[in-house]
Amino acid sequence: MKKLLPLIVLLFTSYRVEAAWFTSMEDAQKAALSTHKLILVDFTAKWCGPCKQMDLNAWNDVQIQTILKDFVTLKIDVDVNQDIAFKYRIRLLPSIFIIDPNGKIIHQFTGYQTASDLKRELIQYSLSTEYLATELIGFYQTQKYNTAIRIAQKYYNYSLLVNNNIKGRIVRVANEYLKDAKDDLKKSDENYLQKKQKLELLVLYELAYRFDFEKLNKKISAIKAEGINELNDYQYWFLKYLSVKNNPEDAIVVETFLKENNLENVIENCNQLYAFYKKSK
């Protein structure tokens, strides 16, 4: 029996497996893409006293270790990785970021955090990104107008699936990808005007997914239907129908038009989004 005691003690002391921290952004991104997780970045430095205290008293907390399993964890030494620190405008340490696999910022906070502070900040971002997987990988492999557009649209839909407390942050990530699409768009591109118009319509999706239908109505009413490229019909009428959903008479007029022009998918998708709005009230 005495011989078994050291073994039993060893089993219990090694039972808790602490989170493994990446030190390479690229490796963390690949891991996040394959495991459908967000990346938690702890910006630190060897000379940062509060960072060391957090390592001892916060990151090693049993409850925090459990939460960290839902993230890909990454430690970035700002002295070793000055380019990354510059990209994220790190001015204070500790700085903690939650980013998606392509590096888009979802949440950030700074300063020394107790275990309870960390739990409060992190728990709501323990999310699966499997819904976004195909589009996230597509953008990671090729950062172009089309891949940026696709992931932005998917993020807008994703915002309906998360807690209302962080919905706005997810919508903002979608907007960041639209900025990437705008940066990639060139006047020399084929179908430049059509792509530019689609981008202008997609920017208005923020109002739709924030359920600000009154403001959306003002914006979309300033755009004439006859000026819409046929490749952008879906985006325009999606926004137009949503903008009048609160007005039954106008909604019937638009709905009739959509049915007559084989745009029933607009009705279906708008009704799905509107159902989320009704549920949120």
Bigger pLDDT: 15 or 189? 189
Residue 228 covered by a domain: yes
Q: Based on the structure, what is the number of domains in the chain?
A: 2
Reported as a single tens digit per residue, the pLDDT across 67-97 is 999 999 999 999 999 999 999 999 999 999 9
Kindly state the average pLDDT of the residues 173-179. Answer: 98
3-state secondary structure of 110: strand
Residue 138 covered by a domain: no
Residue 87 covered by a domain: yes
For residues 143 and 184, the answer to whether their CB atoms sit within 8 Å is yes
CA-to-CA distance for 77 and 94, rounded, in angstroms? 11
> pTM for this one?
0.91
| Domain stops at, among 128, 150, 185 | 128
For residues 179-191, one letter each, b for 16 or more C-beta atoms within 10 angstroms of the residue's C-beta and e for the rest, the string is ebbbebbeeeeee
- pLDDT, averaged across the chain: 93
Q: Identify the domain containing residue 70 by its residue range.
A: 15-128
Reported as a single tens digit per residue, the pLDDT across 102-154 is 999 999 999 999 999 999 999 999 999 999 999 999 999 999 999 999 999 99
Q: Is residue 98 predicted with pLDDT exceeding 90?
A: yes
What percent of the chain has pLDDT above 70?
A: 94
Reported as a single tens digit per residue, the pLDDT across 7-22 is 444 444 444 446 789 9
Reported as a single tens digit per residue, the pLDDT across 214-254 is 999 999 999 999 999 999 999 999 999 999 999 999 999 99
Residue 9: the pLDDT is: 41
- In one letter, which amino acid is 6? P
3-state secondary structure of 196: helix
For residues 65 and 19, the answer to whether their CB atoms sit within 8 Å is yes
Residue 141 covered by a domain: no
Active site residues: 48, 51
Helix 133-141, helix 25-35: angle, nearest 10: 150
Residue 199 covered by a domain: no
Q: Which residue has the tokens 């030190």?
A: 23
